C-alpha cells in the first residue's frame, strides 16, 4: 500500500519503532537511523519491532553526517523523530529548517511529555509514563502498591497514535500538497486510555479507585478455576440466565439475582455460588460452555496457549521467520486484514547501510508519496470525510470518536430497542452519562430500526454518500441486515468499511462474544502482569482503547489506499489480534527459546526499579536507576552518600543482587515525603522518577494545564486531544449527543417520513440492563 512512501525513523524511543513497524509492514521503505555509538543490538524486541526495515548510523556531530542527513531528508516523505525532545534541534535540524529543506515532509515529533511545559525535560522509562498517565493507579491490588503492566503499554499506544496522526497528515497532503509537523506527547496519548475515569471525574468529582480485577458490573472479572483462572463476563446481559444455569446453583435464577442491579448488590453472594462449579471445571471447558450459552467468557491463557490458539492457527495469525543473527521464531502477522491492504513480515536488518551508499539508495529531491491533486488547505485533516458509525460499547466508539475529533462528520446510528451500553441502564438517564459524552463527542445521533424496510432503505441512502462505515457487531450481523461489504460496495464502490470483532470474521471462534476482559485474558496479556512470577494475574486498562486506536488506524489505511487507487475496501479488525501485537516481542522470545517470560511486578529486567510509598493515603512514586552515575546521584539526593562506598552496592550487578535492601532504603526516605516533592527532587537530579497520578492529580496537573491539554467547554470539561498538527488538528464541537438529536436534520432529507421515525418514548427504549 505504501510502496512509494519513504520513511525515516530516528531510533530511540520504542514508540517510534512501533510506528515505523506499521509503515514497513504495509510496504513503505523505512530506514532506521541510529546515532553513532548507540545502535540497538539484535534481541527479541528488535527482531519484532524492526521487521522489514533498513538501518544505518550517522554521526550528527560531524559535517559529513549532517550533510548525509540533509540529503536523506530532502528525499523522504515522513520523518519519525524518536530521539526525544530537543535532540534533533540540537543538531541544527529544527522543524522550521526541516520544512524549508522539504516542504512536503511530514515530521512527527515524539517526546515523553511533549515539547513544552514543566515536565518537558523529565526523564522517563515505560513505568514512569504508566504512572504519570494515571494507568498505574488503576492496576493492581488496592491493599498493595500499584502495579506496572507487563508489556510496554505506553510506547505501544503512542506508536499507534503516531501512525494514525501521520496517516491523517498524508491524507491531507494528498489533497493539499504540503507537509505538516505533528507533536505527540506519550503521556497525553496514554491519558486516552484513562478517558472514562477522567470524564466521570470532571462531571461528578468521583476518583476512580484501584480495584484489582473488580468491575462495576457483576460478574465481570477473572475467578480461580480448577486449572487456572476463568474470565466470567456477565454479558451480553440479555444472555445471562442461559449462562447462569451452568453453575448448578438454583439460587442464581432466583429473585436476588434476576437483573444486573441486584447482582451488583449481591456481588459477594454471587461469587460464593459460582465458586464450587468453577473449581470443578477446567478453564477451556468453562470457556467453551460459556460461549455456547452466548456469553463472553474466556480464560487467562499463558503465552504458549495463546501461541497455540486454534483460532489464530485457522487465521494464520502467527508467522515463522528465519531471522539472520538470531534464528527461527514466530510472531504476529498483520494487525488488521484486507485483501486490498497487503502486509509483509520480513526479517529485521542485521547490517547497516554504509553512509557512502545512502545517496545511491535514496536519491534526494524525488517526488514521492500519493499526492494526486492540490486543493485548498483543510482546517482539519479529516474535513470532508463522512463516517456512518454502527458501533457500541467502547472500542468501536473510541475509533469513530478519534475520526470525529479530527474533522470527520460522524453519524452514529442507534437502535432504540437495544441502546448502546454506554447510555447506561436507566431509561430516565440515557442522555446523562459522562462516559457517553466523552466516547461520542463531536458526533451526530440518528435512530433507526433496521428491521423496518423504510428505515433500512434510508440507511442505504445514507451510506451511498459516505466515505466510511465502521461497525463492531459479531460477524454476520451486518450481512443479515443486507449491509455487508459486498452489498454496500455495489452501492458505493469507494466505501471503506472497517469491521471490529472480538476474534475476527473467520475461524472456528469467529462467532464468539468478547469484551475487553475476555480479550485481555485470552490474548496472553493478562498472564504477564502480576506482582511476582507465581502471583495472581491482574488486568491492565484498557484493551478497548487499544482496539479503538487500531480500528482508527485501519480506517485511515483504507482511506489512504483509496486515495491512491480510487477504490474502497473492507478491513477485518480482530481485537484479540490487535492485543496480541502488544505481546510481539514476548512471542518472539518464547518461540525462539522455548521459555516464556514471567511476570516481574514493578521490577525491570536490567535496571533497578520499583514503586515506593509516600506520605498520605495511597500515594506512591516509581523510580528507575539505570547506571552507576544515576546511583551516585540518588544516594546524594536522599542524603545517604555513604551508600556509594557500601560493598553491597559497589556495581550494578551487586545492586541488583541486593534489590530488596535498596527498595527498603528508598522507602525509608520516600515514606515521610509528599509524592510530588519526591518526583521533583529526583527529576532535578535527572532521574526517571514519577508520581503515580490518580484522576484528581491529572485534573490539577500544572504540566497538562500549561500545555492547554484539557477541553474546557460550555457543556463540560473533557480529556484533550492525543496529538497536535501545526496545520490544524483536533477541535471540540460538543459532547455526545442526545438520543436522536439529529433525526430531523439527517432523516428528513433522506426521505424518511416523520410518521415512521422511531418512537423515543423512554418507556419503550431498550437499555443495557434489560434482560428477557
Q: Supply the DSSP string of 548-569, one letter for each residue.
A: HHHHHHHHHHHHHHHHHHS--E
In the three-class reduction of DSSP (H, G, I as helix; E, B as strand; rest coil), residue 265 is classed as helix
In the three-class reduction of DSSP (H, G, I as helix; E, B as strand; rest coil), residue 9 is classed as strand
Mean pLDDT score, 152-170:
97
Radius of gyration of the chain, Cα coordinates, nearest whole angstrom: 26
Higher pLDDT, 769 or 632: 632
Please answer whether residues 616 and 675 qualify as being in contact, where contact means their C-beta atoms are separated by less than 8 angstroms: yes
Nearest to 85 by CA among 13, 166, 160: 13
Which residues make beta-bridge pairs with 712? 717
Find the angle CA(62)-CA(8)-CA(61) to the nearest 5 degrees.
10
CA distance 219 to 2: 45
Q: In the sheet that 298-299 helps form, which strands lie side by side, from edge to edge?
A: 220-225, 228-233, 298-299
Higher pLDDT, 35 or 28: 28
Q: How confident is the model at residue 363 (pLDDT cuts 50, 70, 90)?
A: low
Position 167 scores a pLDDT of 98
Task: Look up residue 118 and give its three cell numbers.
Answer: 514543566
Q: Is the pTM of this model over 0.85?
A: yes
Domains of the chain by residue range: 220-301, 386-515+532-582+722-764
Half-sphere exposure at residue 421, Cβ-oriented, CA atoms within 13 angstroms: 15
Position 364 scores a pLDDT of 61
Position 369 scores a pLDDT of 46
Strands annotated E in 616-677: 620-625
CA distance 240 to 367: 59
Sign of CA dihedral 686, 689, 695, 696: negative
Position 366 scores a pLDDT of 47
CA distance 437 to 445: 12
- Cell 447482582, located at residue: 263
Please answer whether residues 547 and 395 qualify as being in contact, where contact means their C-beta atoms are separated by less than 8 angstroms: yes
Mean pLDDT score, 316-341:
97
One fold for 220-301 and 386-515+532-582+722-764? no
Q: How confident is the model at residue 204 (pLDDT cuts 50, 70, 90)?
A: very high
Task: Look up residue 495 and give its three cell numbers.
Answer: 466505501
Nearest to 632 by CA among 622, 624, 640: 640
Nearest to 175 by CA among 377, 368, 6: 377
Half-sphere exposure at residue 629, Cβ-oriented, CA atoms within 13 angstroms: 4
Burial of residue 592, with CB atoms counted within 10 A of its CB: 0-12 exposed, 13-18 middle, 19 or more buried: middle
Higher pLDDT, 768 or 736: 736
pLDDT digits (tens, 9 = 90+) for 500-510: 999 999 999 99
pLDDT at 269 over 80: yes
In order of 337, 428, 629, the CA distances from 606 in angstroms are 36, 54, 15
Find the angle CA(150)-CA(156)-CA(158) to the nearest 5 degrees.
135
pLDDT digits (tens, 9 = 90+) for 213-236: 888 899 999 999 999 999 999 999
pLDDT digits (tens, 9 = 90+) for 691-729: 999 999 999 999 999 999 999 999 999 999 999 999 899
**Count of all residues that appear for the chain in the document:** 772
Position 688 scores a pLDDT of 98
Task: Look up residue 181 and give its three cell numbers.
Answer: 509537523
Task: Look up residue 305 and give its three cell numbers.
Answer: 496457549
Q: Does domain 386-515+532-582+722-764 fall into CATH 3.40.50.10540?
A: yes
Mark 740-758 as b/e (b = at least 16 C-beta within 10 Å): bbbbeebbeeeebeeeebb
Nearest to 30 by CA among 14, 52, 47: 52
In order of 219, 221, 225, 269, 412, the CA distances from 273 in angstroms are 11, 15, 13, 6, 40
Contacts of 533 (CB under 8 A, 6+ apart): 598, 599, 600
- Average pLDDT over all residues of the chain: 94
Question: How does DSSP classify residue 4?
Answer: T
Contacts of 606 (CB under 8 A, 6+ apart): 626
Task: Look up residue 95 and give its three cell numbers.
Answer: 522543524
CA distance 765 to 190: 35
CATH number attached to the domain at 220-301? 3.30.1540
Half-sphere exposure at residue 331, Cβ-oriented, CA atoms within 13 angstroms: 32
Contacts of 224 (CB under 8 A, 6+ apart): 230, 275, 278, 279
Task: Look up residue 543 and give its three cell numbers.
Answer: 484493551
For 465, other C-beta atoms within 10 Å of its C-beta total 12
Name the least confident of 125-134, 226-235, 746-755: 746-755
pLDDT at 744 over 50: yes
pLDDT at 92 over 50: yes
CA distance 713 to 118: 24
Q: How would you classify the pairing of strands 716-718 and 711-713?
A: antiparallel
Mark 138-168 as b/e (b = at least 16 C-beta within 10 Å): bbbbeeebbbbbbbbbbbbbbbbbbbbbbbb
For 301, other C-beta atoms within 10 Å of its C-beta total 25
pLDDT digits (tens, 9 = 90+) for 329-347: 999 999 999 999 999 999 9
- Cell 552507576, located at residue: 628
Name the least confident of 201-210, 488-497, 681-690: 201-210
CA distance 40 to 32: 10
Amino acid at each position: 500500500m505504501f510502496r512509494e512512501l519513504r520513511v525515516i525513523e530516528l531510533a530511540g524511543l520504542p514508540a517510534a519503532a512501533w510506528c515505523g513497524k506499521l509503515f514497513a509492514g504495509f510496504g513503505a521503505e523505512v530506514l532506521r537511523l541510529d546515532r553513532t555509538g548507540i545502535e540497538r543490538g539484535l534481541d527479541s524486541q528488535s527482531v519484532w519491532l524492526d521487521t522489514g526495515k533498513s538501518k544505518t548510523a550517522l554521526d550528527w556531530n560531524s559535517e559529513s553526517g549532517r550533510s548525509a542527513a540533509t540529503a536523506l531528508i530532502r528525499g523522504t516523505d515522513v520523518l519519525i523523530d524518536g530521539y526525544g525532545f530537543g535532540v534533533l534541534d540540537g543538531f541544527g535540524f529544527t522543524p522550521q529548517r526541516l520544512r524549508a529543506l522539504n516542504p512536503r515532509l511530514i515530521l512527527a515529533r515524539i517526546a515523553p511529555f511533549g515539547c513544552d511545559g514543566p515536565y518537558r525535560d523529565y526523564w522517563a522509562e515505560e513505568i514512569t509514563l504508566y504512572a504519570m498517565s494515571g494507568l498505574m493507579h488503576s492496576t493492581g491490588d488496592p491493599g498493595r502498591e500499584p502495579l506496572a503492566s507487563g508489556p510496554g503499554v505506553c510506547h505501544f499506544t503512542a506508536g499507534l497514535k503516531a501512525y494514525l496522526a501521520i496517516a491523517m497528515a498524508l491524507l491531507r497532503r494528498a489533497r493539499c500538497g504540503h507537509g505538516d509537523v505533528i507533536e505527540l506527547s506519550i503521556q497525553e496519548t496514554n491519558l486516552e486510555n484513562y478517558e472514562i475515569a477522567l470524564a466521570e471525574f470532571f462531571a461528578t468529582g468521583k476518583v476512580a479507585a484501584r480495584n484489582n480485577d473488580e468491575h462495576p458490573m457483576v460478574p465481570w472479572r477473572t475467578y480461580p478455576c480448577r486449572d487456572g483462572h476463568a474470565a466470567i463476563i456477565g454479558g451480553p446481559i440479555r444472555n445471562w440466565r442461559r449462562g447462569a444455569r451452568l453453575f448448578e446453583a438454583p439460587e442464581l435464577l432466583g429473585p436476588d439475582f434476576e437483573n444486573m442491579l441486584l447482582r451488583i448488590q449481591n456481588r459477594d453472594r454471587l461469587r460464593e455460588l459460582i465458586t464450587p462449579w468453577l473449581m470443578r471445571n477446567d478453564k477451556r471447558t468453562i470457556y467453551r460452555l460459556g460461549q455456547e450459552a452466548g456469553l463472553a467468557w474466556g480464560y487467562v491463557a499463558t503465552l504458549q496457549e495463546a501461541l497455540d490458539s486454534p483460532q489464530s492457527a485457522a487465521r494464520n495469525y502467527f508467522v515463522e521467520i528465519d531471522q539472520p543473527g538470531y534464528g527461527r521464531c514466530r510472531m504476529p502477522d498483520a494487525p488488521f486484514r484486507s485483501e486490498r491492504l497487503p502486509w509483509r513480515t520480513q526479517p529485521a536488518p542485521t547490517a547497516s547501510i554504509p553512509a557512502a551508499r545512502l545517496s545511491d539508495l535514496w536519491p534526494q529531491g524525488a517526488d514521492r508519496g500519493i499526492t494526486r491533486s492540490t486543493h485548498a488547505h483543510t482546517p482539519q485533516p479529516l474535513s470532508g470525510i463522512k463516517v456512518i458509525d454502527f458501533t457500541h460499547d467502547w472500542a468501536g466508539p473510541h475509533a469513530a470518536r478519534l475520526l470525529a475529533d479530527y474533522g470527520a462528520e460522524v453519524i452514529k446510528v442507534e437502535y432504540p430497542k437495544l441502546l448502546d451500553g454506554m447510555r447506561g441502564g436507566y431509561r430516565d438517564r440515557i442522555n446523562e452519562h459522562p462516559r457517553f459524552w466523552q466516547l461520542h463527542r463531536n458526533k451526530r445521533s440518528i435512530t433507526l430500526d433496521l428491521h423496518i424496510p423504510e428505515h433500512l432503505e434510508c440507511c442505504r441512502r445514507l451510506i451511498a454518500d459516505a466515505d466510511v462505515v465502521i461497525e463492531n457487531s459479531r460477524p454476520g450481523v451486518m450481512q443479515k441486515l443486507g449491509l455487508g461489504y459486498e452489498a454496500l460496495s455495489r452501492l458505493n464502490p469507494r466505501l471503506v468499511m472497517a469491521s471490529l470483532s472480538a476474534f475476527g470474521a473467520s475461524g472456528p471462534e469467529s462467532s464468539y462474544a468478547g469484551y475487553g476482559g475476555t480479550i485481555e485474558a485470552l490474548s496472553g496479556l493478562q498472564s504477564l502482569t502480576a506482582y511476582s512470577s507465581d502471583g495472581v494475574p491482574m488486568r491492565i486498562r484498557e484493551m478497548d482503547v487499544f482496539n479503538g486506536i487500531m480500528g482508527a488506524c485501519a480506517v485511515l489505511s483504507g482511506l489512504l489506499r483509496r486515495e491512491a487507487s480510487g477504490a474502497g475496501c473492507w478491513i477485518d479488525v480482530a481485537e484479540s489480534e490487535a492485543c496480541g501485537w502488544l505481546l510481539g516481542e514476548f512471542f518472539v522470545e518464547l518461540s525462539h527459546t522455548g521459555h516464556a517470560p514471567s511476570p516481574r511486578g514493578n521490577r525491570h529486567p536490567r535496571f533497578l526499579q520499583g514503586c515506593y510509598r509516600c506520605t498520605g493515603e495511597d500515594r506512591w512514586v516509581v523510580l528507575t536507576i539505570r547506571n552507576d552515575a544515576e546511583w551516585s546521584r540518588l544516594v546524594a539526593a536522599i542524603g545517604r552518600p555513604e551508600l556509594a562506598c557500601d560493598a553491597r552496592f559497589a556495581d550494578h550487578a551487586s545492586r541488583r543482587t541486593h534489590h530488596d535492601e535498596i527498595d527498603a532504603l528508598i522507602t525509608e526516605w520516600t515514606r515521610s515525603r509528599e509524592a510530588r516533592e519526591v518526583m521533583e527532587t529526583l527529576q532535578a537530579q535527572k532521574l526517571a522518577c514519577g508520581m503515580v497520578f490518580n484522576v484528581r492529580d491529572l485534573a490539577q496537573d500544572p504540566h497538562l494545564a500549561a500545555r492547554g491539554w484539557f477541553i474546557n467547554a460550555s457543556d463540560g470539561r473533557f480529556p484533550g486531544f492525543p496529538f497536535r498538527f501545526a496545520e490544524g488538528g483536533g477541535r471540540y464541537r460538543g459532547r455526545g449527543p442526545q438520543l436522536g438529536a439529529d433525526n430531523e436534520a439527517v432523516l428528513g432529507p433522506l426521505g424518511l417520513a416523520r410518521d415512521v421515525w422511531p418512537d423515543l418514548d423512554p418507556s419503550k427504549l431498550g437499555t443495557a440492563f434489560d434482560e428477557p
